């Protein structure tokens, strides 16, 4: 009985670690996307200083593209977070059911004696 509880706790710890890694990877992906957007912004500023009015139309397009990129990133991050929430919710539900089963077995064990 104690071994099953220990196994269940180990599984929960593994799931927790997996979730932590997923969040870390999501954070790294978001950071990479942000760094790309920052690089575009810096390039845009330098080009506008150097070329002046000639770049006005190009700048508008790039700003628009950057906005679309940020929108895509927000959408992807939102989807990832929602997926992770669902996975965690399902795992917690399953673990709760397993713990309830273990509790019932322990309870029966002590009430039968």
**Helices 2-51 and 56-112 sit at what angle, rounded to 10 degrees?**
170
Each domain of the chain, given as residue ranges in start order, spans: 2-112
Handedness of CA 82, 87, 91, 94 (dihedral sign): positive
Q: Which residue has the higher pLDDT, 71 or 52?
A: 71
The predicted pLDDT at position 23 comes to: 77
Tell whether the model's pLDDT for residue 55 goes beyond 80.
no
The predicted pLDDT at position 21 comes to: 83
The predicted pLDDT at position 7 comes to: 85
pLDDT tens digits for range 8-42:
788 888 888 888 888 787 778 878 888 888 898 89
Give the list of residues 6+ apart from residue 81 with CB closer than 8 angstroms, or none. 26
């Amino acid at each position: 009985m104690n071994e099953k509880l220990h196994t269940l706790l180990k599984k929960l710890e593994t799931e927790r670690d997996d979730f932590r890694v997923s969040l870390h990877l999501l954070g790294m992906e978001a950071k990479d996307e942000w760094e790309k957007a920052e690089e575009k912004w810096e390039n845009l500023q330098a080009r506008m200083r150097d070329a002046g009015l000639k770049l006005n139309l190009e700048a508008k397009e790039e700003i628009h593209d950057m906005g679309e990129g940020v929108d895509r990133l927000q959408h992807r991050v939102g989807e990832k977070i929602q997926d992770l929430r669902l996975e965690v919710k399902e795992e917690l539900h399953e673990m709760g059911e397993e713990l309830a089963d273990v509790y019932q077995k322990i309870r029966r064990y002590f009430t039968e004696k």
